[in-house]
Amino acid sequence: GELGAKGLHLLTNVAGTYLDEPVFEPFWQYADDRGLLIYLHPTVPEPSKSLEPHALGIAMGFFADTNLSVARLAYSGVFARYPNIRWVISHLGGTLPFMLPRLDSYWRQFPAANERCPQAPTSYIKSLVFDTASAHRPAIVCARDTFGLDRLVYGSDYPHVPGGSGPYLEALEVLDLSGDERAAVLHGRADRLLAGEKV
């Protein structure tokens, strides 16, 4: 409140505690009351011993933790209970586009998966916004086809951009965007989110 902040950046777990744990409920209520914008970026899953070799914590673990964190937020009912929070999920949602049918399938099969999640997880996840921080063109197409173009916002992964932001911009060419669509993805949607809108 003192700074007039509209949102914040969170990691997918906080020292091994995932964001759906009860300790975070007062924060989610605070964020929902203010319609905060929350940018969710991965960190290494916990426990992470199996990811220590070969830089697998970053290469594989980051996407795994995005999947895990978003699925837990959906199944636990955080998305349902706090609908005013405006979410942006990094890196096209990890590998969530491949996993949505599984999440809905197990939501239908197991009571423990749906007792706090009134609707199928996909209905909440598809209402989130996903940044395009990927240079892998097939992944960008898959995210567009899964979530919809109106759920994508440009992401550069800045300042962690070893190869510069050029590849992230060039990869978007695969979407063959019109002028208006390109403007919406590159800055229009971000402008609206940062202005306090829900998109």
Rounded to whole angstroms, how far apart are CA atoms 40 and 187? Answer: 18
pLDDT of residue 33: 96
Q: Please name which of 32, 8, 30 lies closest in space to residue 81, comparing C-alpha atoms.
A: 32
Q: Which domain holds residue 85?
A: 7-194
CATH number at residue 134: 3.20.20.140
2 inside domain: no
- DSSP character at residue 188: I
- What per-residue string of b and e applies to 77-100 under the rule 16 or more CB within 10 Å gives b? bbbbebeebbbbbbbbbbebbebb
Between 53 and 12, where is the model more confident? 12
132 inside domain: yes
State how many domains the chain has: 1
Q: pTM value? A: 0.93
C-alpha distances in angstroms, 112 versus 49, 106, 173? 28, 9, 42
47 inside domain: yes
Contact of 42 with 62, CB cutoff 8 Å: yes
1 inside domain: no
What pLDDT, in 10s, does the model give residues 54-103? 888 888 888 899 999 999 999 999 999 999 999 999 999 999 999 999 99
What pLDDT, in 10s, does the model give residues 100-141? 999 999 999 999 888 999 999 999 999 999 999 999 999 999
147 inside domain: yes
199 inside domain: no
Q: Torsion over CA of 49, 13, 190 and 124, rounded to 10 degrees? A: 110
